[in-house]
Amino acid sequence: MRRRASVLLLLGLLSPPSSAGQAGNCSANQTLHWRGGSLRLENDLFAGTDRNYTNGASIVLVSRDLEGPLAPDCLPFAVGMFAAFIARANPDFWQAGGTEGPVQNVVLRFGQSMYTPTDKARTDLIVEERPYAGLLSMSLAWNRRWRAPGRRVEILDTRELTLGVIGPWSLAEQTQNLVHDLRGIERFHGWDNQLHNEPAFQLAWERKIRPLASGAVRPGLGSDVIGSGALRIGNIETAASLGVEARVGWNLPNDFGSYPIRPGAENRPPSALTQGRDGVTQEAGGPRPGAHAFVSLEAKAVAWDFSLDGNLLRDSHRVQRRPFVAQAAAGISSQWQVAGHGLRLAVMRVWRTQEFRGQSGSHAFGSVAASLEF
């Protein structure tokens, strides 16, 4: 009954306001409607290992564009409250966009991630190895896409709030055991030493910048470079990062690139600006099929990482975290249409430098993401 009540409460917080409450007050572009979603799976078994960041999964819902003046009363309660919080904490966020006006959307993400040491057979606490850790979370992100005045670039600004739980309540142990049993892989036996239950919280700021383009895709063979900067604060992770992604391929999508799961990165940009600022209309039926290859690099300064530093509110197992981490990714992405719906598939390999003192080598994992436009 408690689980059912929690689900009903969540749906109520995220459902649109009653029609009576918005009659005559809210336009169609000021209310929340979902336009698509994504499923993403990451696992280091793709790289032939089973340790460190060993698995991540997420389910994402992406809203249609919200245009015109911000109207929190026209949004679901939780989304409206988040918008009001941003307006108070970061008022400049709503002023970006120059004279041409930005478009914006909302992204809702449910995710789980798990971390394990190298030795799966030991049942005692492995002091020199990273802790057993799991995170179950829900994130709400607000994206604003706008053209920088006087410049031939577009910017995607994101503000994201993540709430969740660290520890046994994350169900990381049960999820890993289920997958290992189904695949006939030996279980990890040290989950009794995982981090304690603790509320998880994080606020993320991110900005991506790319060359201005018109249309849902850039027709023919093309290339571009996308820059990014992010700041994350909370007991999930407190870090600052800078990144760059280079893409080359056929019919490049007019978006802001591909990325592995990480806080503040699961952002799907608003779609209206694929029409461009020069009067070019979007292709009928959406983007044309295409494919491209991409390479990304990211450098990150880390002040806190729950999977290395342990629990914030009580003593727990922890290791000596390295303050600077670098990450590289390479992959391919393709988009096409089936029965009038846009589909996208992205596959990548990610390499990450050592994250703590005494770590055995660097780490790698694979990432697969499938997206559907409703």
Secondary structure (DSSP) of 257-277? ----S-TTT-----SGGGG-S
Specify the pLDDT at position 20. Answer: 39
Pick among 2.40.128.140, 2.20.25.90, 3.40.718.10, 3.40.366.10: CATH of 2-373 = 2.40.128.140
Distance (Å, whole) CA 335 – CA 352? 27
* End-to-end alpha carbon distance in the chain: 32
pLDDT (mean) for 99-128: 89
Backbone angles phi, psi at 354, to 5 degrees: -60, 135
Highest mean pLDDT among 62-66, 209-213, 246-250: 246-250
Is the model's pLDDT at 273 over the cut of 60?
A: no
pLDDT at 261: 67
* Nearest in space to 115 (alpha carbons), one of 134, 128, 98: 134
For residue range 305-350, list pLDDT tens digits in order. Answer: 999 999 999 999 999 999 999 999 999 999 988 887 888 999 999 9
List the one residue out of 14, 62, 63, 66 whose CA is nearest residue 39: 62
Query: Could you identify the residue written with the tokens 């189904």?
Result: 182
The residue to which tokens 């990714």 are assigned: 329
Convert the pLDDT of each residue in 4-46 to its tens digit.
444 444 444 555 554 434 445 787 777 888 888 899 999 888 7
Q: What would the DSSP string read from start to end of 64-87? A: PPB-SS--GGGS-HHHHHHHHHHH
pLDDT per position as a tens digit, 314-324: 999 999 999 99
Q: Largest alpha-carbon pair distance within the chain? A: 65
How confident is the model at residue 88, as a pLDDT?
Answer: 86
DSSP 194: S
The kind and range of the H/E element at 230 are strand 217-234
3-state secondary structure 308-362: HHCCCCCCCCCCCECCEEEEEEEEEEEEEEECCEEEEEEEEEEEECCCECCCCCC
* Residues 165 and 133 sit within 8 Å (Cβ to Cβ): no
